[in-house]
Amino acid sequence: MKEVKVLSPTGILGYGFPEESFLIGLAKNPDWIAVDAGSTDPGPYYLGSGKSFTTENAVKRDLTLLMRAACERDIPLVIGSAGGSGALSHLERDKKIVFEIANEFGLSFSFATISAELEREFVVSEFKNGKISSLLPAPEIVEADIRNSAHIVGQMGVEPIIDALDGGAQIVLCGRCYDPAVFAAPAIRLGYSKALAIHLGKILECGCIASVPGSGSDCIMGYLRDDSFSVEPLNPLRRCTVTSVAAHTLYEKSNPCFLPGPGGALNLSETSFCQESERRVKVAGSSFVDSGKKTVKLEGTRFAGYRTISIAGNRDRIFISQVESILEDVKRQVAENFRRSLFPYTLDFIVYGKNGVMGDLERCQHTEGHEICIVIDAVASKQEEANTICSVARSILLHAGYPGRVATAGNLAFPYSPSDVAMGEVYVFSIYHLLEVDETSELFPVTYYNIVGGQVR
């Protein structure tokens, strides 16, 4: 089979990319364009709330360039994890943007959306049938986890995308999707190696992060052949190296040799990386180990309360040397103040400059910084209750005494007024499990639209 080319414009739709890089890519005549649009990295809030972590304006800017290019060249455009988290509300938002762009530019194309949101009752039924298992380190699931979830999505693999392309769709907008699938599906449909297609998708889904200097907001091209693939950044200021591509292959993996995904795992133990040119790397030897059963990763979130935070700094070396015991004393005093109150709450402190990023996992036990940043984090079942806990904790910490304290001024420097910020609803992941299925088509229904001259027919 001939070499095929897939253009990845950016790490996430809405993150942007230089138009010059994109034009260089188009001049190389790609066979399809693919882009990931979501992730669980920003946390459970976006799935729970139904909101997106990318703005409509940013997505529309990117999508306008992609749609016009796909229509002008009559090539497929495949978009994964619409709206960030891939629930129905996210899919509907991005579908609306697709319709707006089509109307504004009078575009004509066949269009398909693939839904990934699952009904709670269906998931409960599958749970009772013993079809759901834990995806470590998630705990065993219970029925309440499902019933309390605000939204539940399944992470589709390549099969629903292939179904949509087989059904005649040129532009495919997916709900929650396995990140490499949008890049790999058209190639697997054409008969290329599943292993190489998925591995290539793994590299391309983050844009130019696999280049030097890396960027999640720039374009990269993948070249797929029968026995290998190559990757090359489209911005002449960047280059792919063996180290940068191999390093990105290790990205988001608990095992350096295996990358689990829908239906099996990518085996990288025999993979080779070769510097094909100054800016291009060739990859070969990847294989796919079939698990023997079909599974779909489930993601669900539940409402956990309301959050209020306060951010403050301190540069007193005496305070900093005792900050752990000072904060524990603040927690004790807050608990004493509200011991007769009926509302539950959680109070936490994140100390940047002393384990703020890694917390209990931090290996460096000795810090030399002259200042720290403290984030006061209060969560309760009502916003006013969270406001109260944060306010009292902030006031106590501001004026707390401690051994060696000389001045009587406040302990905290606040960069903002008001000092306390109501963050609104808090969600936590309630489902991060695997669902065993016979077929995926019923889980991920495809809806087709015919768009002629910008009008939906």
Q: Give pLDDT, residue 85.
A: 97
Asked whether residue 236 falls in the same domain as residue 276, the answer is yes
Indicate if the pLDDT at residue 367 is higher than 80.
no
Q: What is the pLDDT at residue 364?
A: 82
Same domain, 376 and 452: no
The answer to whether residue 311 is domain-embedded is: no
Question: Has residue 166 been placed in a domain?
Answer: yes
10 close to 17: Cβ distance less than 8 angstroms: yes
CA–CA gap between residue 59 and residue 349 (Å, rounded): 35
pLDDT for residue 201 is more than 90: yes
* β-bridge pairing 294-314 and 287-290: unpaired
Label residue 95 by pLDDT band (50, 70, 90): very high
What's the pLDDT score for residue 319? 95
**Residue 373 in domain:** yes
Let me know if residue 92 belongs to a domain: yes
- Asked if residue 365 has pLDDT above 80, the reply is no
Q: Are residues 28 and 100 in the same domain?
A: yes
- 10 and 159 part of one domain: yes
Q: Give yes or no: residues 280 and 351 share one domain.
A: no
- At 98, is the pLDDT very low, low, confident or very high (cuts 50, 70, 90)? very high
**Using CA atoms, how far apart are residues 174 and 161, in angstroms rounded to an integer?**
8
Rounded Cα gap, residues 30 and 416, in angstroms: 49
Residues 127 and 224 occupy one common structural domain: yes
pLDDT of residue 42: 93
pTM (predicted TM-score): 0.94
57 and 194, same structural domain?
yes
Tell me: do 201 and 115 sit in the same domain: yes
In terms of domains, do 154 and 292 share one?
Answer: yes
**At 246, phi and psi to the nearest 5?**
-65, -40
Whether residue 446 sits in one domain with residue 405 = no
Same domain, 137 and 26: yes
The token duo for 135 is 């995806």
pLDDT per residue as tens digits for the range 385-442: 999 999 999 999 999 999 999 888 899 999 999 999 999 999 999 999 999 998 887 8
Please count the structural domains in the chain: 2
Could you list the residue range(s) of the whole structural domain that residue 23 is in? 4-299+432-456
